[in-house]
Amino acid sequence: MTKLARLYAWIGTPRVMRVIGGLLFFLLVLAFWAAGLLPVGPRTRPSGATVLPSPEDVATPPPLTDEGAIHFRQQQGVFGNDLVRDGTFSAHWNTRSDTAPRVLAAHPGSNAGFSLTFGGAGSHTHVIIEGRPEEAREGDLSGSTAVVFASAERLSIQEVGLGSVRILRARDLGEDLSALPEMTARLSEGKVSWQRASLADGTPYTLELTMLRGGRVEEGDDGRFVLVGEKGRLRFRLRFLTRHAALHPFKPGTLLRPEAASDERLQTLFAFLAHRETLLGGSWRFLTYFGRDTLLTLRLMGRVLEPEVVARALESVLVRLSPEGRVSHEDIDPEWAALKLRDGRVTEPCFDGRICDYTMVDDDYLLAPIVQYLLEEDLLPEGWLHAPLATGGLNRDALLANAHFVLRSTAAYALSGNARDLRSFSANFYAGDWRDGLMGHCGGRTSYGVNGVLAPAALRAVASLASSLDLEGGPKVKALALRQLKRWEHAAGHFTAKLSKALWRKQVAAYAASVGLPEEDPLLAAHAPLTFPALSLDGAGRPLEVMHSDEGFALLFGRPTPAQLNGAVQRLLAPFPAGLWTDIGIMVSNPAPSRNPDHWQCFDRDGYTGAVAWSWQHALWAAGLARQLERSDLSAHLRSTLEFAQRRLWRLIDRTRRDRATELWSWSFEDGRFGIVPFGQSGGQLTESNVAHLLSTAFLGLKRPDARPDASPPRKAIVAP
């Protein structure tokens, strides 16, 4: 056989033919891609509707690198999220894939960014960030840049937002922003740019859009810019720039102790939010200091945080105290302050040129109990109490100022015992507690959480701190706090709501039918009368007959009697709408008992603090149950009930593992089962859920109880409170 014949024979073998076939196929695909005949981005069905990747395919939380760099990506319903950090640079890019697609970016350093909303797609448009957003710089300006893919051939730019994250939130909510300086736009050679200056201090905000792969920008008849691509796709680069001060993340190994839960997703997101200057409330919507969230995070996570982290976070609260000792709820950016400050909103310059918001009531009563906990557990660096504050004085002095505020603000009720002297929200502004006051309480003015739990806890802590810290006039402070506490320990009684057995049956059955839930539940046969602590009191001092999850505060900060503790656990475990329990989360509000028809609408599944699940409330209850199980005065039956509730709650926490870093979620009910619905993706939901929420990372600090094989409740555990 000749050499040529042997070569032909060798080529004809099956193995070689497979190799040649694979090579030819690869070259053919490469040729199609180079010619632009293959789509870049997600698959599409023949109808053109985008096939969304499954959450498991998109959610890829990597561990922190040795250098502390982050690229976290997660799909949350129609929202795509890319969180990146490298050194002091960090950014959160967010996309919305629907018939009105959107691209948004927010930057922790500047607490600013942009939003770009499109129209004209005519059908569902899938939008993704290609690769990794990167840092952008130009002169003294900085920001980020990324390449965006959209599965549409033409998109009209409907709305452009530039400014602080608070301004972007307001634009998303449809608030009037007409007083902002005019934005200028310029179109030139496939690039369009927008610019405006801050209303407060002239800070420049710039956004540039550059078309890629032969795309172009046209100006439509209505004056709007239109992006034009080819073959059903668009690719363009966005770059945002502004002026900002850098935030400094903690170095790897200096943030969490080894005892922290080994959840890489939570660890990555907590690291994204944690900075030496302050802990950020959440991303993308809360990229600033939040007092309540910082304090509760220290209570729930303190044991797994390095002492310096605890100290710096607590000092970020102390330097923002008002002169009278109130805790600042939030840093307000100067432009929002100039644009939207309203009568009744208590604000003032507080630290390093910041404007602080003192509207919330609950923050003020969290500081003392949480400092007491941190000191008792030895979680602060040695000598911290006598360390100097950046605003002058010592940490100890700031605590004393807050202690005096607690005493002054609780004095009126301590003297009168009248509900009108409880701590109420401002009548002309919405804020008040974590539920956002008048809005979150449907007109309720006086909350159970503040008055029934936190104010008494603050007085108890002030008495303890006055004694142990040798505060100025310590014995007098302690005596006064204990004297006022005697009255405040009974404040929860003002919130008692009672329904007869017949009325309870009627209410729960009617509500269940209105939301498409089955009417059967254990508490329909409860002994009359049904009693529970109402969510709040209205302006006339009447209880709002709304069941709620704020009893978790009582477990973590209060001293409930065995009967109160049993009742709280019963309401937790009773299936919604008889109680708060569903298989996808604890409902933070249950309006079924209420005879006010407005409450069913206020607290529905589209309400921000309505019949929805907040992840951190699961952490609150888990920590509260663990604290109560440390008591020595529990009967064997009650202890068994609490242990059952604890095991069941942790199974719920495990079931919602993928969503537990987020802020909140709503629900659906189909085929006899509850399902998680990401919040902010329904037309009736006015805001979005943060994909990274500071308080929702608190599971890192919770100790899982030992597993128990029995999954059944103790006999007669689920009974009427």
pLDDT at 3 over 60: no
Same domain membership, residue 196 and residue 302? no
pLDDT of residue 674 exceeding 90, the answer is yes
Predicted confidence (pLDDT) per residue in 400-425, tens digit? 999 999 999 999 999 999 999 999 99
Residue 646 banded pLDDT, cuts 50, 70, 90: very high
Last residue of a domain, one of 432, 458, 489: 489
Question: What's the predicted TM-score (pTM) here?
Answer: 0.89
Evaluate if residue 27 carries a pLDDT over 90.
no
Q: What is the Cα–Cα distance from 85 to 73, expressed in whole angstroms? A: 12
What pLDDT does 18 receive?
Answer: 62
Residues 200 and 306 occupy one common structural domain = no
Question: Domain check: are 95 and 237 in the same one?
Answer: yes
CB-based contacts of 512: which residues, under 8 Å, 6+ apart? 518, 519, 521, 577, 592
Helix (H, G, I), strand (E, B) or coil at 239: strand
Q: Which residue is it, tokens 């911290």?
A: 384
pLDDT tens-place string over residues 111-163: 999 999 998 777 889 999 999 999 999 999 999 999 999 999 999 999 999 99
* Shared-domain flag, residues 91 and 228: yes
- Over residues 283-336, the pLDDT tens digits come to 999 999 999 999 999 999 999 999 999 999 999 999 999 999 999 999 998 888
In a domain, 160, yes or no: yes
Domain that holds residue 400: 290-323+345-489
Q: What is the pLDDT of residues 550-599, one digit of tens each?
A: 999 999 999 999 999 999 999 999 999 999 999 999 999 999 999 999 99
Position 592 scores a pLDDT of 95
In a domain, 26, yes or no: no
Q: What is the pLDDT of residues 434-446, one digit of tens each?
A: 998 767 899 899 9
The answer on 71 and 193 residing in a single domain is: yes
Which pLDDT value is given to residue 681? 85
Nearest to 399 by CA among 360, 432, 359, 372: 372
Is 262 a domain residue?
no
- Same domain, residue pair 233 and 305: no
Is the bond into 384 cis (omega within 30 degrees of 0)?
Answer: no
Greater model confidence, 540 or 718? 540
Q: Which residue has the higher pLDDT, 501 or 259?
A: 259
**Within a domain: 406:** yes
Which pLDDT value is given to residue 41? 41
pLDDT over threshold 60, residue 28: no
Q: Per-residue pLDDT for 720 more than 50? A: no
Structural domain includes residue 423:
yes
Residues 151 and 63 in one domain: yes
- Which of residues 427, 457, 489 is at a domain's end? 489
Distances (CA, A) of 577 to 210, 495, 511, 616, 675: 52, 20, 8, 21, 16
Question: In this predicted structure, what is the pLDDT of residue 104?
Answer: 98
Three-state secondary structure call for residue 286 = strand
| 439 vs 198: which has the higher pLDDT | 198
173 lies in the same domain as 116: yes
What's the structural domain count of the chain?
2
Does the pLDDT value for residue 37 go beyond 50?
A: no
Averaged pLDDT of the chain: 88
Q: What is the pLDDT of residue 530?
A: 84
Q: How far apart are CA 106 and CA 90, in angstroms?
A: 9
Mean pLDDT along residues 247-258: 94
pLDDT of residue 664: 97
pLDDT at 49: 33
614-635 pLDDT, tens digit per residue, is 999 999 999 999 999 999 999 9
Q: Is the pLDDT of residue 662 over 90?
A: yes
Note whether 417 and 316 are same-domain residues: yes
Q: pLDDT value at position 498?
A: 94
Asked if residue 407 belongs to a domain, the reply is yes
Q: Is there a single domain that holds both residue 157 and residue 217?
A: yes
Give the number of residues written for the chain.
721
- Clarify whether residues 236 and 296 are in a common domain: no
Comparing 346 with 711, the larger pLDDT belongs to 346
Q: Is residue 210 part of a domain?
A: yes
Is 178 within a domain? yes
Percent of the chain residues topping a pLDDT of 90: 71
Residue found under tokens 């495990």: 654
DSSP letter for each residue of 602-633: HTSTTSTTSS-EEHHHHHHHHHHHHHHTT-S-
- CB-side neighbour CA atoms (13 Å) of 99: 4
pLDDT per residue over 356-365, tens digit each? 999 899 999 9
Instruction: Look at residues 438, 462, 489 and tell me which one is the last residue of a structural domain.
Output: 489
- Based on the fold, state whether residues 305 and 238 are members of the same structural domain: no
647 pLDDT more than 60: yes
pLDDT at 21 over 70: no
